[in-house]
Structure 1
Amino acid sequence: MINKIGKITLYVNNQEEAKKFWTEKLNFVVKFEQAMGPTMKWLEVGPSENEFTTFILYDKNAMLSQNPSANVLHPSVILSTSDIENAHNKMKENGVELTDIKAMPYGKMMTFKDQDGNDYMLREDR
């Protein structure tokens, strides 16, 4: 069902400052960077090119404009799967509260809640 811990979102005040911190002070590398419209971008950093798990450096204000109820005070965990449809079906059978699968430019995703109502995302990357 779930193969790896894929991405952890760190909500930051300034993506460029966060990028400099992680790459210049901690020697991380930029694993992925892509514009998401005129004012936003998706930015992932990791300890090396070979490491699968990354930090997404996501602008706090951008997240709040998309989802005003988002909790930007703590990281957001994104898990990975190679078969999101199968994972969705199994979770549904197991009584997990979840959303429908959404197709995005980078792959498919859905969210689910744990026993305490905390949100997690599951992604199948292209």
Structure 2
Amino acid sequence: MINKIGKITVYVQDQEQAKDFWLNKMGFVLKFEQQMGPNAKWIEVGPSEDEFTTLILYSKSLMEKQNPSAVAHPSILFSTTDIESAYEKMKQNGVEVEEMMRMPYGTMFKFNDQDGNSFMLREDK
């Protein structure tokens, strides 16, 4: 049946600001971009060219018109193999990060995007 997570939608106020955040602060790559009428684009970004799973940076105001109940806070947990390096790099890039949490089941921290959406980064070894 299902063998991969394909796309995760993040609803954003300004698609260009969101694209800038993910490409220039987080080091993601632009996987796909296409105009969707006069006021919105379909924008997909991912951690690398080879990664299958992408984030769709979708217009929050457009989705609120299309399906208001769909606009919810995303719950996304990203993975890294070097949490210390990722934490320092994100801080250097001006990403709002919270304190590192060192738990028996893993080390992780929360970070926010340009719209204040909260995400988690966890070390997987």
Does the Cα contact within 8 Å between 1:9 and 1:56 map onto a contact in 2? Answer: yes
Query: Where does residue 36 of structure 1 map in the other structure?
Result: 36
1:66 and 2:46 matched: no
Report how many aligned residue pairs link the two structures: 76
1:26 and 2:26 matched: yes
Does the Cα contact within 8 Å between 1:8 and 1:56 map onto a contact in 2? Answer: yes
Does the Cα contact within 8 Å between 1:10 and 1:56 map onto a contact in 2? Answer: yes
Cα distance in 2 between the residues matched to 1:26 and 1:33: 18
| RMSD (CA atoms) | 1.7
Q: Secondary structure at the match of 1:75?
A: coil
1:52 and 2:52 matched: yes
Offset of 1:76 from its aligned partner?
8.1
Runs of 4+ aligned residues of structure 1 deviating over 2 Å after TM superposition are none
Query: Where does residue 94 of structure 2 map in the other structure?
Result: none
Identical aligned pairs, as a percentage? 70
Which structure 2 residue ranges, 5 or more long, are not aligned? 77-125
Q: Could you tell me which amino acid in structure 2 is paired with residue 30 of structure 1?
A: L
Q: Map residues 87-126 of structure 1 onto 2, 5 A cutoff.
A: none
Cα distance in 2 between the residues matched to 1:15 and 1:54: 15
Offset of 1:73 from its aligned partner?
2.9
